[in-house]
Structure 1
Amino acid sequence: MSEKSAPVAYGGQAVIEGVMFGGRHVNVTAVRRKSGEITFLEVPREEKGWVRSLRKIPLLRGLVSLIDSSVKGSKHLNYSFDAYADDEMTPEEREELKAKNKKGEAKLGLGAIIGVTAAAILSFIVGKVVFTLVPVFVEQFLFKGAFEHQIYHNLTEGGIKLILLLLYLYLISLTPIVKRLFQYHGAEHKVISAFEAGEELTPENVQKYTRLHYRCGSSFIMLTVIIGVLIYSLFTWDSLAERVVQRLLLLPVVMGVSFEFLKFTNALRDVPVLRYLGYPGLWLQLLTTKEPTDEQVEVSIASFNRMRELDAVYAKQGAPASVPDAILDPLEG
């Protein structure tokens, strides 16, 4: 089977000075160090049977996938942050940190893993709740008695949510580190698009492709705003407290439906007219992605190729408990 017809729908995530790609059997992050070297974090994918079962249930699979990707993504983001911090350290600071890490090795283990996982899940939930409720309070404060029908309040709430989202993304994109993060996000999309087109992955070939992609998480965020307005309009409320509780209870439903609609629009992206269903998400990516440099594309290609290489090995031999030759600690790499 040719690469172009391969059924695997690869996805990824931009990290600090690098890119993570997820395969069937392994997740790989490649990071460009200050020295110019590219280092890797390679983590075999381990998934419980009950999680795989939940991933097959429509609506519920979206929420499971989002939480799972948030937990796993935090590990790779932390790796890139540690590598970035290490590059900014003096030799003396690096040796001091190594000594502290060695003294604390006995304390690391299951507790640390549970702590990181819990923190990732908590930050995911808190972020979604805040993004859901802040527009409710703002709309209630500014337009409490402005409209007779609640559907107009829902539309206004959605508009406020969209404005806050766009303003937030624009402001953080002005910071140098986030701008580079968005460039790596663009590099990730370009590599996936080039691969799906059957191109040889070279910086020159990859740069020809768009930095926008239908399966991006940015598209999901936009869909939650639109789908949220539609779902909220099916219900009524009599007080602010009831409205808040309603939004919290419906949040998993909004996320589940948005996930399914994202899959639907991606499946139709090559169908004339219907492909436009995914355009709102692509428009948002104009903010969350930037045009990458050739050097950034090289990092994205390195991550993708290493992921594909390990995936092929594990497909034949089975994924090991640990990945040989992986640099798991940037301080030791």
Structure 2
Amino acid sequence: MSQQSRNIYGGQAVIEGVMFAGKHVNVTAVRRKDNEIVFYEVPRTSQPWLQKLKKIPLVRGVVGILESSAKGSQHLNFSMEAYAEDHSDEEPDKPAKQEKSGWSLSMIVGVAVAGVLSFIFGKLAFTVVPAVLEGLIFGQADLNIIVHNLLEGLIKILFLLSYLYLISLTPLIKRLFQYHGAEHKVISAYEAGVELTVQNVQRFTRLHYRCGSSFIVFSVLVGVIVYSFFHWDNMWERIYIRILLLPVVLGASYEALRMTNAMRELPVLRFLGYPGLWLQKLTTKEPTDDQVEVSIASFNRMLEIDREMGQMSKTA
């Protein structure tokens, strides 16, 4: 199969594992303390009206981000519970944790809603706090709105880099970033058409153009441009404008990410994706062979179920 005919897949790192999103199913593989690799498989379902929204430029980015936050939180929660169980001091004869397949609908919806709310509040904080800080530090300076926005963007970048560096010092987050690198390596190996073995996968870079880390950088750069078209007279008006325009910034950032990925093979224009790749040097680490093995297991399981469900849908 040629690279051009292959589907485009994405994923995310979870605690001691990796999740991959297929066409019909999302699969997470997690390595337990006893070295067993366990899977969490959730079929992908979407309402027709949601699929229509995903075809509209700018709107599709916001819809996709919220949907990914909702579904990704379920897989992250699965990995966190598995990790907590493996590292707890509970008695060995305590009843085993209920499998995710036995979750009630209300529990699944609750986790999904929590994931969306966490993303929204996190993005609001990342948008509002730098604006307030810039106003407190440079508010009295005789600067035009473009310079104020550039300074605000610089504060966002410094805030982001400091945050990522500090959390990367903790052992658990460092391992999470290693699994992030393993996820990228597997996708790159698949897109290159090579057999997914640990040795083959490890030859590829841990950086990838479609990473969510690149999206974060684009949201900062696009925000500087978008906010420059709107004048504000006081701090409250400045915050209000940023919150109101947040969906526009997210949607435009998503389109910019798609564009840079499409042009990454063009010698002159591929530099547009470099800022996101530079940030990935913080959000990814070189994985071990064991971590790559988990990532391959997750990806292969996703492909297997995708094929099975695809055949079932054709014969239905």
| TM-score bracket for the superposition, by shorter chain length | over 0.9
Residue 57 of structure 2 aligns to a residue in which SS?
Answer: coil
Quick one: percent identity of the two aligned structures? Answer: 60
1:156 to 140, 151, 154: 151
TM-score by length of 1: 0.90
In the alignment, what sits opposite 1:313? 308
> Any residues of structure 2 matched to 1:34-73 within 5 Å, and which?
34-73=33-72
1:212 to 207, 211, 215: 207
In the alignment, what sits opposite 1:260? 255
Deviation at 1:294, TM superposition (A): 0.6
RMSD: 1.6
CA 1:21–1:118: 2 relative to 1, 3 Å: same
CA 1:296–1:305: 2 relative to 1, 3 Å: same
In the alignment, what sits opposite 2:14? 15
> Any residues of structure 2 matched to 1:64-213 within 5 Å, and which?
64-90=63-89, 92=91, 95=94, 98=97, 109-213=104-208
Counterpart amino acid of 1:129? Answer: L
In the alignment, what sits opposite 1:299? 294
2: CA distance between counterparts of 1:90 and 1:234? Answer: 56
2: CA distance between counterparts of 1:187 and 1:304? Answer: 11
2: CA distance between counterparts of 1:8 and 1:306? Answer: 15
- 1:45-102 CA-to-partner distances (Å, cap 9, x unmatched) read 111111111100100000000000000000000110111111113462661575xx69
1: CA distance between counterparts of 2:297 and 2:96? Answer: 29
Q: Are 2:264 and 1:269 aligned?
A: yes
2: CA distance between counterparts of 1:244 and 1:170? Answer: 27
Counterpart amino acid of 1:244? Answer: I
Q: Are 2:243 and 1:248 aligned?
A: yes
Q: Which has the higher contact order (CA 8 A, sep 6+)?
A: 1
In the alignment, what sits opposite 1:30? 29
Residue 91 of structure 2 aligns to a residue in which SS?
Answer: helix
2: CA distance between counterparts of 1:3 and 1:27? Answer: 24
Contact 1:237 1:243 in 2 (8 A): yes
Residue 11 of structure 2 aligns to a residue in which SS?
Answer: strand
Counterpart amino acid of 1:92? Answer: E
TM-score by length of 2: 0.95
Deviation at 1:250, TM superposition (A): 0.7
Counterpart amino acid of 1:252? Answer: P
Residue 19 of structure 1 aligns to a residue in which SS?
Answer: strand
Deviation at 1:122, TM superposition (A): 1.0
CA 1:250–1:91: 2 relative to 1, 3 Å: closer
2: CA distance between counterparts of 1:223 and 1:71? Answer: 22
Counterpart amino acid of 2:263? Answer: L
Contact 2:6 2:191 in 1 (8 A): no
Residue 58 of structure 1 aligns to a residue in which SS?
Answer: coil
Residue 285 of structure 1 aligns to a residue in which SS?
Answer: helix
Residue 40 of structure 2 aligns to a residue in which SS?
Answer: strand
Contact 1:3 1:195 in 2 (8 A): no
2: CA distance between counterparts of 1:35 and 1:260? Answer: 43
Counterpart amino acid of 1:136? Answer: A
Counterpart amino acid of 1:310? Answer: I
CA 1:246–1:93: 2 relative to 1, 3 Å: farther
In the alignment, what sits opposite 1:324? none
Q: Are 2:278 and 1:279 aligned?
A: no
Contact 1:183 1:296 in 2 (8 A): yes
2: CA distance between counterparts of 1:194 and 1:148? Answer: 49
Structure 2 stretches of 5 or more lacking a match?
A: none
In the alignment, what sits opposite 2:222? 227
Deviation at 1:3, TM superposition (A): 5.1
In the alignment, what sits opposite 1:4? 3
CA 1:316–1:14: 2 relative to 1, 3 Å: same
Deviation at 1:8, TM superposition (A): 1.2
Q: How many correspondences in the alignment?
A: 312
2: CA distance between counterparts of 1:4 and 1:149? Answer: 48
CA 1:309–1:87: 2 relative to 1, 3 Å: same
